[in-house]
Amino acid sequence: MAQQKSKTTLATTVYQRLRAEIIHGPLRPGERLRIEALADRFEVGNNAVREALSRLSSEHLVDRHDQRGFAVSSFSLGDWRVLVESRIFLETNVLRSSMRNRTESWEEEVALAFHRLTRTRRETAETPGEWEEAHRAFHRALLANAESHWLLSFCEVLADQAARYIAISNTEHVITRDAQAEHEALMKAVLYGSEDEACDLLAKHYTMTLRNLEGQFLSEPASLD
């Protein structure tokens, strides 16, 4: 039993580390993931790596090719557009549910998450993922009061996929954008405005990200390889 638990713990550790590297960009789209090399790198057995890669494949972060092994899932402009459209459709409906079930504690969590986000700057963050974590926490707080845990789980999956595109984009370009103003307007609409206003601002927020990345991908097709 202890041996089985140890194997599971090792596989989970590899899964978490690879997942973070895929989402935040160090591992590039299409990059081969060789089991033996990863096992050496993480100092674990091949089975732990294989289990971790299988879990990542089920989340569509890794592609599994017959006879060719594993690779980081590729990008495409078409997939990015569908992803953003799906995210807007899903999250606006979840946001409505969250707002309808509002509580004082939820409102406080939204305000606190926004405050933490405003105190975190990309250019001054102590670690590369510090701003991304604060940003993710803010968006998660907006939706947290929704009734369906299933829909919240689907939101997390789409957010992970979107983070991959944004991370790759940020390694190539710096986008000029007043993100703080966008987040402040969204926060105020959620806390003090109507559902329609909040959902409209959320859709515009994601659409702006879509347009920015479309411009980069169309101007530099090689970045999709």
Q: What is the CATH number of domain 77-224?
A: 1.20.120.530
Half-sphere exposure of 11 (CA within 13 A, CB side): 16
Q: What is the CATH number of domain 2-72?
A: 1.10.10.10
**Do the domains 2-72 and 77-224 sit in the same CATH topology, yes or no?**
no
* pLDDT by position in tens, the chain (length 225): 444 445 568 899 999 999 999 988 788 888 999 999 999 999 999 999 999 999 999 988 999 987 778 999 988 888 889 999 999 999 999 999 999 999 999 999 999 999 999 998 766 656 657 888 999 999 999 999 999 999 999 999 999 989 888 877 665 555 567 889 999 999 999 999 999 999 999 999 999 888 887 776 666 544 443
Domain boundaries, the chain: 2-72, 77-224
Nearest 5°: phi and psi at 145? -90, 10
pTM of the model: 0.79
* 113 in Cβ contact with 137 (< 8 Å): yes
Q: Which DSSP string corresponds to 164-187? A: HHHHHHHHH------HHHHHHHHH
